[in-house]
Chains A and B, each alone.
Chain A
Amino acid sequence: MNWGSLSEFLHMGGYGLFVWGSYGVTVVALVLEVFFVVRRARTPAEIAGRRMREETGI
């Protein structure tokens, strides 16, 4: 065990901003990616087709 308490863990030896700034952005980015790809994959073919036609003219 490296950490005596939660506040020690969050403080990260003074580097909290850098470490949690890294992990935080990573988590947000991955969650967003999953959200958007799930939404895209769930779009029924008909609606996806209409969107594609509007965007590309095909």
Chain B
Amino acid sequence: MKRNIWKYAAPQTFYPLAGKMIPLFAVLAAVLAIAGLYVGFFVAPTDFQQGESYRIIFIHVPAAWMSMFIYVVMAFWAGVGLTFNTRLSSMMAHALAPTGALMTFLALWTGALWGKPTWGTWWVWDARLTSELILLFLYVGYMSLAASIDDVRRADKASAVLALVGVVNVPIIYFSVQWWNTLHQGASVSLTRAPSMATSMLTGMLLMALAFWMYTIAVSLLRVRAIIKERERSSEWAQE
């Protein structure tokens, strides 16, 4: 079993595996989203300070978490492709980028719509918001750089370097609320201490975070299949 698993590094072998996995993750995403939205709107109570505006949290936090997580995974695969010259690794990085960029945009958009009623402003140049905006630029830069280089393998390598250099931004986003004085609030959820939010709100948020994660996997697997087909079109198996 262990000896055979490396065969999935070949685009031709990974292609059907990805195809089989997509429906599973799509269904999981739908189920978790329905559960999360139900808890978020019909179980979680009104917030004492923020009223109903806090319900944006069920999109905002999952999107923000995914924006950071996807970037790290993308940089990982880009780095593997750069180091080991494996085509499929680079393809996976390119497959993740658009979804990561979308998550970043959604985090910024929903954050602005949440900030206006609660802080009185759509935007502020504090450490967290600014570094999240930079994350969006990094995603767009990664995609643009790759698109601008005709030779795909050179494009993979150049964009991989950009992705890897940009990884430093992720811990900056994460720790920004500790390191600097920010308008954005500090962490309510931690691995080491009890959460400072109501259980039903936390449950809804975690369900939606899982839903966004499953959605990301499904969409990225479908996109990598498209990329495989485009790049491998000259090989025999793709002609069928």
Binding site for B on A (CB under 8 A): 1-3, 9, 12-15, 18-19, 21-23, 25-26, 29-30, 33-34, 37-38, 40-41, 43, 45-46, 48-49, 51-52, 56-58
Q: Which residue of B lies closest to A13 (CB)?
A: B52
A19 to B117, CA, bound (A): 10
Q: A40-B223, A56-B150 are in contact. Are A22 and B229 (CB under 8 A)?
A: no
A13 to B46, CA, bound (A): 9
A3 to B59, CA, bound (A): 20
Q: Is the CB of B230 within 8 A of A48?
A: yes
Dominant secondary structure at the B interface: helix
Q: A13-B51, A15-B53 are in contact. Are A26 and B226 (CB under 8 A)?
A: no
Q: Is the CB of B109 within 8 A of A18?
A: no
A2-B46, A18-B116 given; 8 more Cβ-contact pairs under 8 Å: A2-B42, A13-B52, A22-B110, A30-B215, A34-B219, A40-B226, A43-B229, A45-B233
Q: Is the CB of B223 within 8 A of A41?
A: yes
Leading 6 A-B pairs by shortest Cβ distance: A13-B52, A49-B233, A15-B53, A41-B226, A22-B110, A12-B52
Min CB–CB distance A55 → chain B (angstroms): 8
Contacts of B52 in A (CB 8 A): 12-15, 19
Q: Which residue of B lies closest to A49 (CB)?
A: B233
Contacts of A37 in B (CB 8 A): 219, 222-223, 226
Interface residues of B in 50-93 (CB under 8 A from A): 51-53, 55-56, 59-60, 63
Contacts of A12 in B (CB 8 A): 52-53, 55
A13 to B47, CA, bound (A): 11
Contacts of B223 in A (CB 8 A): 37, 40-41
Q: Is the CB of A2 within 8 A of B45?
A: yes
Q: Is the CB of B53 within 8 A of A29?
A: no
Contacts of A1 in B (CB 8 A): 42
Question: Is B102 engaged at the interface, CB distance under 8 Å to the other chain?
Answer: yes
